[in-house]
Amino acid sequence: MKLQSTIIPIFRLKPGREKSVHRRHPWVFSGAVESEADANQPGQTVRVESSSGKFLGYAAWSPKSQIRLRFWSFNERDKIDENFFYSRLQKALSYRSSSNMASNAKRLVHGEADGFPGLIIDQYNQVLVLQFLSVGMEYWREVLIRQLIDLTRLECVFERSDTEVRRLEGLERQCGSILGELPPNFVIKEHGLEYYIDVKNGQKTGFYLDQRANRAKIQEISNNREVLNCFCYTGGFSLNALRGGAKFVTSIDSSGQALKMAKLNTKMNGLQEEKTTWMEADVFESLRKFRDQGRNFDLVILDPPKFAPTKQNVEKAARAYKDINLLAMKLLNLGGLLASFSCSGAISPELFRKILASSAEDARHDFLIIDTFSADQDHPQLLSFPEGEYLKGILLQKRT
């Protein structure tokens, strides 16, 4: 794509639709846009004005998407050029380097929160993994890659822009090497445990970095407990439970590939394999089987995939969350703990809590809220963008 930044097309919003922009929300939906004058390149920067012609901000134009505009800036004096992105990238990197996350794998850029709507950059030790998820970010692709290499001095950059959301932006899926070769069987270290990372075929960009602090928490509360880890992926919570002194850890995932890595991870960390069992199975079915068998646990972890990818799926997702939580609550011994997560942005923390309350009602037990969880600090949230608060969790204790 050719970058053109000299002539900036002007977009006007419909009357009254500037309110969310005043709240500094980074998106404008298609229905709020009155006129899309003279823009011709998807992703190019446009000047956004209110219906009365007042400056609101500069945004990336995404003609195919319902999210028609994504703001770069609300400051009229800003120039959306290479320097603008360079200093934004510097800021994102310096935020990460100033916080200690006890890991050599971290998210360097987390979309909207870092001022890059639709961009994910994860660092796994010496490897950078990029996801361009909006046409506005795709527009600046070459510039950003160059700047990123300049700032990090890393020599292996891989792209995992192979998610469904690209289609909503009118973009093809893309996956492959940008610079260098992926090292074979490479490993990251987090809170004293090592994990193999499969950047090419793994889920997300290879690992669920957002759960880092919560995995450490599980290590703290697992001692002497019979643990059930549902949706275990490559074993993050399971390994932490073992390291934390769990009596036994049962882990379930539907992905055989993920379980293979989980077993390798257990071995690599010198953890007691005889204290684990890995089940390639459906969690919904397995929980029912355990219920019928009268099995009990002292700690159940539920970290399911995104049941509600959009607002349209909320009702169905709520039923699924209620189902697994109800089953898990029944499997717990008295005094047992339930660490329950939702990574659906469309399910608010309040709604999630209501769903759990409704599960507890049907389970006919009292639960105490011991703790709450969110994504780790390299996944910051923008105060003006509640949609960004996608990962939430609650730690409950079965009381009576």
* The two three-digit tokens of residue 389, written as one number: 């608060």
Least distance in angstroms from the C-beta of 346 to ligand SAH: 17
Surface-to-core class of residue 77, CB atoms within 10 Å of its CB (0-12 exposed, 13-18 middle, 19+ buried): exposed
CA distances from 119 to 5, 188, 345, 396 (A): 20, 22, 17, 34
Q: How far apart are CA 5 and CA 43, in angstroms?
A: 11
Least distance in angstroms from the C-beta of 120 to ligand SAH: 16
CA distances from 367 to 4, 315, 326, 342, 357 (A): 58, 24, 12, 18, 9
Of 41 and 310, which CB lies nearer to ligand SAH in the complex structure? 310
Q: How far apart are CA 355 and CA 234, in angstroms?
A: 27
Give contact residues for ligand SAH (rule: CB under 6 A): 203, 208, 211, 215, 231, 233-234, 236-237, 252-255, 258, 282-284, 303, 305
What is the secondary structure of 222-260 as a DSSP string?
A: -TT-EEEEES-TTTHHHHHHHHTT-SEEEEEES-HHHHH
Least distance in angstroms from the C-beta of 217 to ligand SAH: 12
Helix axes 349-363, 314-331, angle to 10 degrees: 50
Find the DSSP H helices in 42-152. 82-97, 135-139, 141-152
Least distance in angstroms from the C-beta of 373 to ligand SAH: 11
Of 155 and 282, which CB lies nearer to ligand SAH in the complex structure? 282
* The two three-digit tokens of residue 331, written as one number: 């499997």
Q: How far apart are CA 8 and CA 5, in angstroms?
A: 7
Least distance in angstroms from the C-beta of 389 to ligand SAH: 18
Q: How far apart are CA 374 and CA 213, in angstroms?
A: 9
- Of 156, 230, 232, 343, catalytic: 343
Least distance in angstroms from the C-beta of 289 to ligand SAH: 12
343 carries an active-site annotation: yes
372, containing H or E segment: strand 367-374
Residue 341's nearest CA partner among 327, 357, 329, 325 is 325
List the catalytic residues: 343
